[in-house]
């Protein structure tokens, strides 16, 4: 028997769930514990309870979800399709509770059942289907699309193993596989009727004047849907992740002939396709499996989109009016040739018509300028894995050269390489960068030639983050204060945070703001002590740098500053030092040797400094392993200082920087990515700026001997390097390569920016020593951070790129 939920609609706010009581939820949880989990309460583990709670919450998502799908279909609405190799969603339960407005009754229900809500929430594994900012952005976008009632699908891969787990051994990163699907994933619905065949290799024939691709291998893509509920629970879109299955489980003929390994080949191919996420962020991959994964996602998504479109509309001329496809970076750029293939080979359209329809439907977001991350495939590999696509790519390239009058040296195919950035650009109606500065650099550098030919194609959409997860859910202490002070409207309309401006001069409010921050710091401090044995004084500055480990992000600059500071404290142990806890978090790609060396250095420096009785009250360093979305939710609300210190011109946007700002941390940063916009909006007096600009950095890099000259000129930098070379932090030999690169090459200008950074840090010390002024600055950072909501970003995409409209559910 199913216990009926007494759900009523609140006509004013369209909230279905706020009227639920704690008792309703308790009954429903007990129902699922018994009938879905098959457990009596006396035998239930935390896991059983967590699943029962999740199913209860999921039930409440299904109504809005089905309603949204029905409304979009009935109203013939244009749909947005977001194709991304990564969706870094993290945990779902806490976010769903918040968006459904269930916080109060759920707390009550769990109380009635004698359960600790935090223990239940912490039991959920992070869905780590992404590397960093790019994947997390996709997850924030999905939430905003639902909160804005924009009909959309996110398409990705259901990796069995998400991003590896990180631990430290002797200070060094060790990777172990992540296995979130080792247990039931309560949020997904498997759709066996949404399955498509995806082919690879083989050859192309001409039959009755039409090209016919006969793949040599194929797999089945099967859909797994997860509803993504928007704020206030009125709308949910689908995150549709594809899992790979073999077309035939076993090649019986080969099996019977005794070749057991070969007989299992079809299964092996399928399983590897959706098995692991590539653990690289902004570095080159170039492997056949990666190309196959990209095509697997893209082909399954486009077949699904076309099937839905044909069923609903049937008239290909309507495609651009009903379908907007966004390519999240070049990873799904094979969508251009794939859509052309479907339109030409399956639907019989001529090349020009297929090209125009595809271009009016596809758009591409560029997320990086780093040359090593711009995808290229050899024509040989492309021709072997996707022979028909290679032909179409060549046709697109030739056609573009003819129709645009483009010189021969630019374009998609150069020598034996296919350039996916150029392919994505040429097949897109709109190309966008992810911050104002980045978009200008896209126009001036990577796509300068194409931009000259198509001056209207590139637009900017500065990134944003969802305030539901990153403020309301992650920071209940601050949320409570905001709700009491300016009401709850900021959750939907983050610009309303500007109502805090007058409170920047209200001493009583600033005291409460400080108390909220302190509560978060105390909780983090307890965690750091329990987990790492690091003593983090909640009255010290919590100085946080969390992000992927990469040379351009310059964690090295940060740790060298710590060493120099340590040395200065030693010189004057009775000086007036502002106590500081430096917190690092982040993973390095397993093959990125230099980034791993920086991890090792940070850990060894931490060991030496944390145990130094002379300095320990002033400086502590903590590096909790396995940084992920959930850890970010704990660290960011507890931060005083946000480290955004990339070499100018290298960080496309950043999104962590926005999360810190809206949680009241002040930024120490360069004029890079969205830092530029953060600084403009919060006011230069509320931001600690340092370092070269993008143009200056480019000039400095071109100057021969810049590294050595800068180090010789900086006492602090010299000392820091010397202490490392002397073996004060582990064996000196461990750091020879790192030191050598810093002295002789320093491609990311750590030395050139060092003194400026050191000075800015001392300005931070002085500012922190004046609590009233610090709190005022923190308040203004929050008040002026409304622009960085991903709702604003998504509205921009809807208006400028997708031409999509919100839909009212029936």
Verify binding: residue 134, ligand GLS, rule CB under 6 A. Answer: yes
Query: Nearest-CB residue to ligand GLS?
Result: 133
User: By CB under 6 A, what part of segment 391-450 binds ligand GLS?
Assistant: 434
The DSSP annotation for 548-611 comes to ---GGGTHHHHHHHHHHHHHHHHH-TTS-PPPEEEEEE----TT-HHHHHHHHHHHHHHHHHHT
Secondary structure E strands in 201-314: 203-207, 210-214, 217-229, 236-246
Catalytic pick from 240, 400, 406, 553?
553
| Span interacting with ligand GLS, options 129-137, 158-166, 204-212, 792-800, rule CB under 6 A | 129-137
Nearer to ligand GLS, 520 or 655 (CB): 655
Decide if 548 is catalytic: yes
When the beta carbons of 520 and 670 are compared against ligand GLS, the nearer one is: 670
Out of 158, 548, 550, 596, pick the active-site residue.
548
**Does the footprint of ligand GLS cover residue 673 (CB under 6 A)?**
yes
Q: Report whether 91 contacts 629 (CB < 8 A).
A: yes
- 39, 78, 367, 550: the active-site residue: 367
Q: Phi and psi for 191 in degrees, rounded to 5?
A: -115, 85
Told to judge if 322 belongs to the known catalytic residues of this protein, a careful annotator would answer no
Q: How many whole angstroms separate alpha carbon 160 and alpha carbon 318?
A: 37
- Return the residue of 368, 610, 630, 661 that touches ligand GLS, per CB under 6 A: 368
Residue 133 interacts with ligand GLS (CB under 6 A): yes or no: yes
User: Closest distance between ligand GLS and the C-beta of residue 629, in Å?
Assistant: 13
| Binding positions for ligand GLS, 644-663, rule CB under 6 A | 651-655
434/529 Cα distance (integer angstroms): 38
**Region for residue 168 given its phi and psi (left: phi exceeds 0; alpha: psi -120 to 50; beta: otherwise):** beta
Q: How far is the CB of 435 from ligand GLS (least distance, A)?
A: 8
659 is a catalytic site residue: yes
In the window 276-295, what residues touch ligand GLS (CB under 6 A)?
281-282
Closest to ligand GLS by CB, 132 or 332: 132
The one catalytic residue among 596, 659, 776, 792? 659
- Least distance (Å) between residue 157 CB and ligand GLS: 16
Query: Are 316 and 296 a contacting pair, CB within 8 Å?
Result: no
Exposure of 154 by Cβ count < 10 A (0-12 exposed, 13-18 middle, 19+ buried)?
buried
Q: Is 535 tagged catalytic?
A: no
Nearer to ligand GLS, 61 or 428 (CB): 428
How far is residue 768's CA from residue 640's CA, in Å, rounded to a whole number? Answer: 9
Number of residues that bind ligand GLS (CB under 6 A): 17
Q: How many residues does the chain have?
A: 810
Q: Which residue has the tokens 């800068």?
A: 710
The binder of ligand GLS chosen from 64, 94, 132, 383 (CB under 6 A):
132
Cα 359 from Cα 216, distance rounded (Å): 29
Answer for which of 367, 472, 517, 679 binds ligand GLS (CB under 6 A) is: 367
In whole angstroms, the minimum distance from the beta carbon of 5 to ligand GLS comes to 39
Task: Supply the DSSP symbol for 119.
Answer: H
- Beta-strand (E) ranges in 140-275? 152-157, 165-169, 172-176, 189-200, 203-207, 210-214, 217-229, 236-246
Q: Which is nearer to ligand GLS, 138 or 778 (CB)?
A: 138
Site string for ligand GLS, 150-189 (x = CB under 6 A): ----------------------------------------
CA dist 718 and 771 (Å) reads 33
Name which of residues 456 to 495 contact ligand GLS (CB under 6 A).
463
Range in contact with ligand GLS (rule: CB under 6 A) among 89-97, 131-139, 269-277, 507-515:
131-139
Local structure of residue 20 (DSSP, 8 states):
-
Nearer to ligand GLS (CB atom), residue 281 or residue 304: 281
Read out DSSP for 464-477? Answer: -B-HIIIIIIT-HH
442 sits in the region (left: phi over 0; alpha: psi -120 to 50; else beta) called alpha
Q: Which residues are catalytic?
A: 367, 547-548, 553, 655, 659
Which chain residues interact with ligand GLS by CB under 6 A?
A: 132-134, 137, 281-282, 367-368, 373, 434, 463, 651-655, 673
């Amino acid at each position: 028997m199913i216990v009926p939920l007494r759900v009523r609609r609140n006509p004013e706010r369209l909230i279905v769930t706020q009227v639920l009581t704690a008792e309703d939820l308790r009954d429903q949880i007990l129902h699922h514990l018994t009938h879905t989990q098959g457990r009596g309460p006396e035998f239930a583990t935390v896991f059983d309870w967590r699943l029962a709670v999740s199913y209860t919450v999921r039930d409440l998502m299904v109504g809005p979800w089905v309603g949204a799908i029905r409304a979009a279909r009935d109203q013939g609405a244009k749909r947005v399709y977001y194709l991304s190799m990564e969706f870094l969603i993290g945990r779902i339960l806490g976010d769903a509770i918040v968006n459904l407005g269930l916080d109060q009754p759920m707390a009550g229900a769990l109380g009635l059942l004698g359960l600790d809500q935090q223990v239940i929430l912490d039991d959920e594994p992070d869905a780590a289907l992404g590397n960093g900012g790019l994947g997390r952005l996709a997850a924030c976008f999905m939430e905003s699309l639902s909160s804005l009632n924009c009909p959309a699908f996110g398409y990705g891969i259901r990796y069995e193993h998400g991003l590896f787990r990180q631990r430290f051994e002797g200070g060094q990163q060790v990777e172990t596989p992540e296995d979130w699907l080792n247990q039931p994933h309560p949020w997904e619905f498997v759709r066996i009727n949404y399955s498509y065949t995806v082919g690879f290799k083989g050859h192309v024939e001409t039959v009755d004047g039409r090209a016919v691709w006969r793949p040599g291998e194929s797999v089945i893509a099967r859909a797994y849907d997860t509803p993504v509920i928007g704020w206030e629970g009125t709308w949910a879109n689908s995150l549709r992740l594809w899992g790979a299955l073999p077309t035939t489980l076993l090649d019986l003929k080969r099996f019977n002939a005794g070749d057991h390994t070969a007989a299992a080949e079809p299964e092996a191919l399928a399983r590897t396709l959706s098995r692991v996420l590539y653990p690289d962020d902004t570095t080159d991959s170039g492997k056949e499996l990666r190309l196959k994964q990209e095509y697997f996602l893209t082909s399954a998504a486009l077949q699904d989109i076309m099937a839905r479109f044909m069923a609903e509309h049937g008239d290909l001329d309507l495609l651009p009016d009903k379908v907007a496809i966004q390519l999240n970076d070049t990873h799904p750029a094979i969508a251009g040739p794939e859509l052309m293939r479907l339109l030409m080979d399956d639907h019989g359209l001529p090349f020009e018509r297929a090209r125009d329809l595809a271009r009016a439907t596809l758009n591409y977001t560029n997320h990086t300028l780093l040359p090593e991350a711009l995808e290229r495939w050899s024509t040989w590999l492309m021709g072997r894995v996707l022979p028909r696509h290679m032909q179409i790519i060549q046709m697109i390239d030739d056609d573009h050269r003819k129709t645009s009058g483009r010189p021969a040296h630019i374009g998609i195919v150069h020598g034996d390489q296919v350039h996916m950035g150029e392919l994505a650009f040429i097949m897109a109606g709109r190309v966008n960068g992810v911050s104002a500065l980045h978009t200008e650099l896209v126009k001036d550098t990577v796509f300068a030639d194409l931009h000259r030919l198509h001056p209207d194609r590139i637009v900017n959409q500065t990134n944003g983050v969802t305030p539901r997860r990153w403020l309301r859910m992650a920071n209940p202490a601050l949320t409570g204060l905001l709700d009491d002070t300016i009401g709850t409207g900021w959750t939907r309309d983050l610009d309303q945070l500007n109502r805090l401006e007058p409170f920047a001069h209200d001493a009583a409010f600033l005291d409460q703001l400080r108390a909220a921050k302190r509560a978060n710091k105390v909780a983090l401090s307890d965690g750091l002590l329990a987990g790492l044995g690091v003593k983090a004084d909640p009255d010290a500055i919590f100085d946080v740098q969390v992000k992927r480990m990469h040379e351009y992000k310059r964690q090295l600059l940060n740790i060298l500053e710590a060493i120099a500071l340590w040395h200065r404290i030693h010189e004057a142990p009775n000086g007036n030092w502002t106590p500081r806890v430096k917190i690092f978090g982040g993973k390095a790609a397993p093959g990125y040797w230099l980034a791993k060396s920086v991890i090792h250095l940070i850990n060894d420096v931490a060991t030496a400094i944390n145990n130094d009785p002379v300095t320990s009250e002033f400086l502590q360093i903590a590096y909790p392993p396995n940084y992920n979305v959930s850890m970010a939710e704990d660290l960011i609300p507890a931060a005083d200082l946000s480290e955004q210190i990339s070499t100018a011109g290298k960080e496309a946007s950043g999104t962590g920087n926005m999360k810190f700002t809206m949680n009241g941390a002040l930024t120490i940063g360069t004029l890079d990515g969205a830092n530029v916009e953060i600084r403009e909006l919060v006011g230069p007096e509320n931001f600690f700026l340092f370092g070269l600009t993008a143009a200056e950095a480019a000039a400095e890099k071109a100057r021969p001997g810049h590294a050595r000259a800068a180090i010789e000129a900086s006492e602090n930098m010299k000392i820091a390097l010397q202490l490392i070379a002397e073996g004060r932090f582990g064996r000196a030999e461990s750091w020879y390569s790192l030191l050598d690169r810093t002295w002789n090459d320093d491609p990311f200008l750590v030395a050139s920016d060092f003194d400026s950074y050191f000075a800015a840090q001392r300005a931070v010390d002085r500012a922190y020593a004046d609590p009233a002024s610090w709190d005022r600055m923190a308040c203004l950072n929050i008040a002026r951070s409304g622009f960085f909501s991903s709702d604003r970003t998504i509205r921009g995409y809807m208006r400028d790129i997708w031409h999509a409209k919100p839909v009212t559910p029936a």
